[in-house]
Amino acid sequence: MEFRKITIVGGGGFMGRSLAQKIASSGIDVTVLEVSQERIGHAQRGMAASLDDELRKWGITASEKKVVLSRVSFTTEPSEAADCDLAIEAVPEDLALKQAVMLRLDAVCRPETVFVTSTATLSVTEIAAASGRADRVVGMHFLHPVTRSKLVEIVRGSETSDATFATATTLARTLDKTLIEVFEYPGYVVTRAILPFVNEAMHIVMEGVASAEDVDLALRLGYEFKMGPLEYADRVGLDTMLDWMEHLFHELGDFKYRPCPLLRKMVRAGHKGRKTGRGFFEWKGSERVRSEKEASR
């Protein structure tokens, strides 16, 4: 299948913007559907800033930035999704909201159009049930940031057809992703495995065993990780991590997913990581501010 136009519902968040940028850079036109002009402005500024970061790091050229931006259009009109080849919902991790998006997409898209949910923890089957075309709904859990991460989990709901799975596979390969096939279960593979790891790192900081900086340093150097678990949590968003943990704790009843009290405290204080400029670390835009201690090592 050849993709000419893909609709993304919810381009204001990191996931939606990163998806739009990756898809556009792969030569596909993207329509970003948002709820308001204010959200559109936020998405446009965020995408421009992300591309400027790539430009400063010599990841792209000025002409490539221009081409990517020319392939992305923004709208508040659901009817603009009518002629898309595939639609992706990238709204916040809320079951009712995702179901409402599926219902709205079903009203405007062609009957054969495949819908993708980008959920990290929720039931693809439940989301698909609201779509009116459950056999044409599939989960694709992209990792942050979509522009650089190599992996995508393709998640089958109970009704996902082989043809729909094949469409998702084609999209993954078009975006140069390595894919794994996942059968629906809370947390899938990546989220289910990473959350206890991140949660334990938070407990170590809360108990005063070591600083956030030293915990991340120890795990990065000790196990050759690209980044530490606390920096990862900051990048994803501490509020998002809290939502994921609460969902898996509720679904599985396993105490390893019970959120660390320090995480709750930070989210309540508005310290949500990179998105607010402060979490376990200080942030300036998309870059973590390094302490004098860290810089001297």
Of 5-19, 126-140, 211-225, the least confident: 5-19
Residue 294 has pLDDT above 80, yes or no: no
The domain ranges of the chain are 5-183, 191-292
| pLDDT score at 145 | 84
Query: Domain 191-292 adopts which CATH fold?
Result: N-(1-d-carboxylethyl)-l-norvaline Dehydrogenase; domain 2 (1.10.1040)
| pLDDT score at 83 | 94
- What digits encode the pLDDT tens for the residues 139-193? 999 998 899 899 999 999 999 999 999 999 999 999 999 999 999 999 999 999 9
Q: What are phi and psi of 141, to 5 degrees?
A: -95, 100
| pLDDT score at 181 | 97
- What digits encode the pLDDT tens for the residues 34-79? 999 999 998 899 899 889 988 988 888 999 999 999 999 999 999 9
Give burial (CB, 10 Å; 0-12/13-18/19+) of 165.
Answer: middle
| pLDDT score at 156 | 97
Q: Do domains 5-183 and 191-292 have the same CATH topology?
A: no
Residues 6+ apart with CB under 8 A from 203: 260, 262
Share of the chain above pLDDT 90, in %: 85
Query: Domain 5-183 adopts which CATH fold?
Result: Rossmann fold (3.40.50)
Residue 1 has pLDDT above 90, yes or no: no
| pLDDT score at 286 | 80
Average pLDDT over residues 22-39: 94
